[in-house]
Amino acid sequence: MHLDLTGRTALVTGSTQGIGEAIATALARAGARTAVNGRKPGAVAEAVARIRAEVPGADLVEAVGDVATADGVHGLRSSLPEVDVLVNNVGIFGARPALEITDDEWRRYFEVNVLSAVRLTRAYLPGMTGRGWGRVQYIASDSALVIPAEMIHYGVSKTALLGVSRGFAKEAAGTGVTVNSVIAGPTHTGGVEEFVYQLVDKDLPWDRAQREFMRLHRPQSLLGRLIEPEEIANLVVYLSSPQSSATTGAAVRVDGGYVDSIVP
């Protein structure tokens, strides 16, 4: 299957590292003009340089802005008035005992993980529907369906994204714009290796260490290893492509079988 996004402009929020950077790289490789977003100009410039080294000739835009704030979204929209593909990837997470999560922490998680995506969708969806083509995606998590006891505020914010995605898909019905969420499973990102080696034998080579970690601490995974960010990016590129035109309003899983369900 040839996925060609030449002539399309994509924005990936929170794309200076990890899953976001992998998605931005994959979209650029598919030919999209890709906007790399982060709060710090230096981090954005460094990510752009890495992507350009990976994809020579890539058409990249440095889209600096804090999309967790209304002012940040307004500024980003001013510098990037239209996009064809919007990937709402930015998010925060962290462990916290359920009864110790304060109101301010709940609000912060919703501002970053949910309202950033809502604001950006409000900003860019009308242009997509007016042009008769567009792709909006929300990077959710297995935690949306299997709420982690150690970070329920994160899990609930990702559950909310599934509802946001389905709702905006209805708003875009019949326009040629698709809206979907991506349920990502346990992923090999920055800091995860250190976390894994805190729980398994430090002398094990990485491949064996991660498989031991999954066996002991994530036994419901059918993949038996951590997912690589590029594997999530592959699904995002497909959902961004013309070939995915009949998939909308969906919560599509790339979770390695982590969620024990035959439907999302």
> How many Cα atoms within 13 Å fall on the side-chain side of residue 47?
31
Q: What share of the chain is helix, strand, coil (3-state, %, to 5)?
A: 50, 15, 35
Q: Quick one: pLDDT at residue 95?
A: 86
Q: Quick one: pLDDT at residue 40?
A: 97
Cα distance between residue 231 and residue 196, in whole Å: 20
Q: Quick one: pLDDT at residue 121?
A: 98
Cα distance between residue 220 and residue 73, in whole Å: 38
Would you call 154 a catalytic residue per the annotation? yes
Residues of the chain under the 70 pLDDT cut: 264
Cβ atoms within 10 Å, residue 174: 6
Q: Supply the pTM of this predicted model.
A: 0.95
Q: Quick one: pLDDT at residue 191?
A: 77
**Whole-Å CA distances, 53 to 6, 39, 85, 215:** 19, 22, 23, 36
DSSP 256: T
Cα distance between residue 107 and residue 125, in whole Å: 25
Q: Quick one: pLDDT at residue 24?
A: 98
Q: Quick one: pLDDT at residue 189?
A: 86
Sign of CA dihedral 150, 189, 181, 264: negative
Domain residue ranges in the chain:
9-187+230-252, 191-226
Tokens, residue 257: 């079988």
Task: Return the CATH class of domain 9-187+230-252.
Answer: alpha beta
Q: Quick one: pLDDT at residue 42?
A: 98
pLDDT, tens digit, for every residue of 49-100?
999 999 999 999 999 999 999 999 999 999 999 999 999 999 998 889 999 9
Q: Which of 154, 197, 238, 258 is catalytic?
A: 154
